[in-house]
A and B are shown apart, each in its own frame.
Chain A
Amino acid sequence: MKFARTIIINLILTLIIVGCSGPAVTQAPTVAPTRAPATEAPTELPPTETMAPEPITVVDALGNETTFAQLPERIAIAGRATALIAHSVYMFPEAINRLVALEDRVQRDLSFYRVVDQTFEEDMLLLERNAGPEQIIPSHPDVVLMKSYLAESLGDPIEQLGIPVIYLDLETPEQFERDIAVIGTLLGNTARADEIVSYYNSRTQQIASIIDPIPEAEYPEVLLMQYSDRGGEIAFNVPSSEWLQTSMVELAGGEPIWLEAAQGGGWTIVGFEQIAAWDPEIVFVIYYFSDPNPIVESLKEDANWQQLQATQDDALYAFPGDFLSWDQPDPRWILGLSWLTKTLHPEEATSIDLKTEVVAFYQEMYGLSQETIETEVLPRLSPWTE
């Protein structure tokens, strides 16, 4: 599939290049991207919305260095995980004006955009799913953001057309910090990036200070799994050992017991037998399609699951979320981490108050008013232990 798409995209590219003279010209003549092997210090910019005439340079997730003659005014986001990147970008006030095009992948993402961006309906160009360079070009972006694993399939073709592509990962706490800084540079608001990073750092440090004194031997054995039931095929999936979900469990002072099954790159299906062999102390159930609570209830009533100590100790939990489940590589992971810490170590984590965390998060990260939070966010909270 991917291979065929690459072929087709390259064929289209060849036709375009043949039709145009020399390298393709973009509609934003102010951008002159270069790829320089030498490193340059990024230029400091005042934390305002005015355009700075000096060039900026960013080094993205793939280590590519890109210099812009001036701040990109039109930003597009494309590819899978568009939403996860978009949610990060929207933490900057400039996003509302600079984001011009987003890939429309899943219906439920749109509701969040409408909450944080009043101009979304009128101004945002929604690209069709799996948009290729031809669909992205008409929005005249100055830069396109996407996940780094799309470099070959989507990024390269777009760059061939002269539009710079910045790759982001945002999939681990370290990557998150790095990529937020990149976004900040791109938007000309590195101060805001620092704010965001320090917000996250304060939370992670708080959590670390709670967890550090606890000896590892006392970490509960945790199973974090995604429940899927498409087409009547029930499957229990465990996340890869390299994924954010696993890091979150470890940071929250849990011992992930599924690692031997998680050596692959993605979700791995495990049978109930294996879960019974592990017999975890605590089980977290992620369900991406709707509220996980009914799933957890059905598991509690399943005669097999009742044999597990987690069920018997009432330690089967639905993983919380609001617009999205909090387990994904999306800014909300910090909420997921806080919740995990509180759930795994309730006695030591008294300083964490989740309701406060949620409100603070949306206020400080997205600039939502208390009223908006109460009408749009809190009703969407599903389920949690308080």
Chain B
Amino acid sequence: MKHRNNKTIFGLSILGLLLLTALSLFVGRYPTPYWMPVDRMLEDPLARRLVLTLRLPRILLALLLGASLASAGAVMQMLFRNPLVEPGFLGVSQGAAFGASLSILTFGSGSLPMHTLAIGFALAGLVGSYILARRLRFGGWVLRLVLAGIAVSALFSAGTGVLKYLADPLTELPEITFWLLGGLWSGTWEDVLNVLPFVIPGLLLVFLLRWRLNLLSLDDETAWSLGASPEKERWWLLLGAVVATAALTAIAGIVGWIGLIVPHIARRLFGADAQLHLPGAMIIGAAFTLLCDDIARTLTAGEIPLGILTSLLGAGVFMLIMTTFRVHLKR
């Protein structure tokens, strides 16, 4: 009775995503910049190999990254009742960055230490923000959590700065810096398999609990009176969002803006009800990130850091939508 329009928009979004994914397989630098003709893929074994071993895992990682960041942003915006929040709060991204930088300096090459430390410190950021928030002496719960998150983020950023300072400037520093700008250039099937155990459960958890986000966005007393356990449920939702995000940040570095603007776009298109706009955010986030990564690996001979593109395109789209989109979808 009321979701008819949404089904259409949803269907179109998913269709668009699938189309974009299919097209992305044909885009790259081989054999010539930009477009690979279909017959080339059929005839050239190297082309097939590139598509299957390089492009496909990278596309999947971009989709997962976008979906995770966008849903994490949506979750946080609703839980903190603040549309200006993104996964970078609560020290999650910065903690992951710190953990990965630490791993680069101490363990050198080795993706297992990198993943472990990134996820570990991302969760530490979350837990640290939570514990600090409990100890703060003024303001409501949401305000305290945001303040604590800012403090913890700043601490980790400073820590990463220190690590950059200590890094060998000829070799390690450029790597840390590039990594901090974000990029999927080294994405392999191994990376995909490494992140799936974290990303799938995380996204699933957030997806299943998405309707509760509506309750949790109201005052705590109200949520309580409706039978919710606000603190516990918040915790589960944040955990799911953070684990998925941190695992992918360990590979892709810090990629900004997606967690901030995609939830806004999703709310505009699908309404404020999280039941709908959360999966919508996942789809849009996945598509947007895939688009940016396609550009990152195709536009020039050298790789463009993904974070730069998401910020550039993200800011542009953000300004466009905020200044033009004034119609409220009536359903």
Contact = CB atoms under 8 A, between A and B. Distances in A.
Q: Do chains A and B touch in the complex (CB under 8 A)?
A: yes
B323 interface: no
B295 to A, nearest CB: 13
B104 interface: yes
B186 A270 contact: no
B11 interface: no
Interface string A225-242: 000111111110010000
A276 B33 CA distance: 12
A303 to B, nearest CB: 7
Contact of A268 (B110, B164, B186, B302): B302
Interface string A55-89: 00000000000000000000000001100000000
A23 interface: no
B49 A303 contact: yes
A268 B104 CA distance: 19
A230 B29 contact: no
A384 interface: no
A261 to B, nearest CB: 3
B29 A271 contact: yes
Interface in A79-108: 80-81, 105-106
Interface string B161-181: 100111011111011001100
Interface residues of B, number: 47
B275 interface: no
A157 to B, nearest CB: 18
Given A233-B179, A270-B302, A1 B161 contact: yes
A304 interface: yes
A262 interface: yes
Interface in A3-43: none
A106 B185 contact: no
B186 to A, nearest CB: 4
Q: What range describes how many residues of A lie at the interface?
A: 35 or more
A272 interface: yes
Interface string A261-277: 11110111111111011
A274 B50 CA distance: 10
A135 interface: no
Contacts of B300: 260-261
Contact of B54 (A232, A261, A263, A304): A304
Contact of A261 (B32, B161, B169, B301): B301
**Among B31, B170, B183, B297: residue with most chain A CB under 10 A:** B170
B109 interface: yes
30 contacts: A1-B165, A81-B170, A105-B169, A229-B108, A230-B104, A230-B108, A230-B109, A230-B171, A231-B108, A231-B109, A231-B175, A231-B179, A232-B110, A233-B175, A233-B185, A235-B186, A260-B301, A270-B301, A271-B185, A271-B303, A272-B50, A273-B28, A273-B54, A273-B55, A274-B301, A274-B302, A276-B30, A277-B32, A304-B53, A307-B49
